[in-house]
Amino acid sequence: QTRFPPRTHRSSRSNNMTGSIRDCVTLNNGIEMPQLGFGVLGVGDHSAVIRAVLDAIDAGYRSIDTASVYGNERGVGEAIRQSDVQREDLFITTKVWNDAQREGRTLAAFDESLARLDLEYLDLYLVHWPVEGHYKQTWQELESIYRSGRARAIGVCNFMPHHINDLLTVTQVTPSVNQVEFHPLLVQPKLMRVCRDHGIQLEAWGPLMKGHFDSVRTIVDLAARYRKTPAQVVLRWHLQHGVVAIPKSSRRARIIENADLYDFVLDAEDMDMLDALNAGKRFGPDPYDFDF
Ligand code: NDP
């Protein structure tokens, strides 16, 4: 029997049950992070990225998740400049890629990301993958970036319980966030518990199972019952678990659909039914077995 940690539907800005797209979680250093964000992996060419990020901001998203390896930080930066929303009202995340996880190279990679984004600071800077033999050193460089004030929070991605426990032997600053693949087919209750025990916010990449939810009967049936779409049911499940989610879409209609999550609540039995889909199924690489 899988044991899940207790659910917390944390919403620091709204008091009602359904919440709003302005809902934030409070990270372990007191910084507020929007619970729903927009992911830009593979959104398209430069102009498609600008268009998608502007569409997302227009739809109410205030958090954008990019990475140096996505090759689209310039487009994200351009959209930020073109948008009517103030920089300080946005939450911008990027990540240090694996080839920059070498002594002294992480600081340079951070500067290069900031320059491509044309920003003075980041809201969140993440270690992209737990590169064996290097991630502790990388983390120490992120700590120095954090202390310099140029990243409001720092965190990791794809860290499994073993990586977290190992990293915590050297940290002076506990990661604020762990961004991992997380969706109803890959719930990772042990990882959820370890993150919660250390005050590390879980953030879901691939929350939409990369679009594969249409074949999952339970999700399709629940969507019909709640008169929502399968994507909305899955994202609502993330919110009610207290997890940050960053769905990606290149299409304006879906960008809007994926943010329209605040007029329904999944009841406890339906949350349980979605939890029970957990099958350890990954659509992306395995953090214990990757070669890049
Ligand atoms: P998602 O789970 O967000 O799925 C995206 C896919 O779902 C796309 O094919 C998209 O197609 C489709 N889709 C989006 N909305 C809908 C909808 N309403 N109905 C049907 N299909 C839909 O996968 P991602 O891998 O993109 O993950 C999200 C973000 O997480 C990334 O963009 C990136 O920012 C981050 N990420 C981080 C990783 C890490 O290692 N830290 C690894 C992977 C991702 P279309 O665009 O055509 O709408």
CA pair distance 103, 100, nearest whole angstrom: 8
At residue 13, does pLDDT exceed 90? no
Q: Which residues have CB under 6 Å of ligand 1?
A: 39-41, 65, 128, 157-158, 179, 205-211, 229, 231, 246-251, 254, 257-258, 284
Dist. CA 108 → ligand 1 center (Å): 28
Locate the ligand 1 atom nearest the alpha carbon of residue 126 and give its number.
Answer: 41
What per-residue confidence (pLDDT) applies to 3?
A: 56
As a whole number, mean pLDDT of residues 255-260 equals 98
The pLDDT tens digits for 95-129 are: 999 999 987 899 999 999 999 999 999 999 999 99
Residue 120, Ramachandran bin (φ over 0: left; ψ between -120 and 50: alpha; else beta): alpha
Q: Which of 70, 135, 146, 262 is catalytic?
A: 70
Ligand 1, from 129, 249, 251, 258: best to mutate by most atoms within 8 Å of Cβ?
A: 249
At residue 6, does pLDDT exceed 80? no
| Higher-confidence position of 10 and 271 | 271
At residue 2, does pLDDT exceed 60? no
Query: Is the model's pTM score more than 0.85?
Result: yes
Ligand 1, from 208, 213, 246, 260: best to mutate by most atoms within 8 Å of Cβ?
A: 208
Q: Which residue is closest in CA terms to ligand 1's atom 4? A: 210
Locate the ligand 1 atom nearest the alpha carbon of residue 65 and give its number.
Answer: 34
Least confident of 52-61, 175-184, 213-222: 213-222
Q: CA angle, corner 143, sides to 138 and 96, nearest 5?
A: 40
Dist. CA 214 → ligand 1 center (Å): 14
Neighbours of 249 (CB within 10 A): 21
- The pairing of beta strand 24-26 with beta strand 32-34: antiparallel
CA pair distance 199, 266, nearest whole angstrom: 25
Please enumerate in sequence order all residues whose Cβ is within 8 A of that of 251, keeping only pairs 6 or more positions apart, or say none: none
Locate the ligand 1 atom nearest the alpha carbon of residue 229 and give its number.
Answer: 18
As a whole number, mean pLDDT of residues 241-256 equals 98
Please enumerate in sequence order all residues whose Cβ is within 8 A of that of 69, keeping only pairs 6 or more positions apart, or say none: 95, 97, 128
Q: Which residue is closest in CA terms to ligand 1's atom 16? A: 254
Instruction: Write down the number of H helices and E strands in the chain.
Output: 10, 10
What per-residue confidence (pLDDT) applies to 213?
A: 87
Ligand 1, from 95, 135, 183, 205: best to mutate by most atoms within 8 Å of Cβ?
A: 205
Locate the ligand 1 atom nearest the alpha carbon of residue 211 and give its number.
Answer: 7
The pLDDT tens digits for 17-45 are: 899 999 999 999 999 999 999 999 999 99
Q: By three-state DSSP, how is residue 156 classified?
A: strand
What per-residue confidence (pLDDT) applies to 11?
A: 45
What per-residue confidence (pLDDT) applies to 214?
A: 80
What per-residue confidence (pLDDT) applies to 53?
A: 98
Task: Measure Cα distances from 183 to 36, 113, 208, 262 in Å.
Answer: 14, 29, 7, 19
* Tokens matching residue 173: 């600053």
Active site residue 288: no
pLDDT band at 7 (very low <50, low <70, confident <90, very high): low
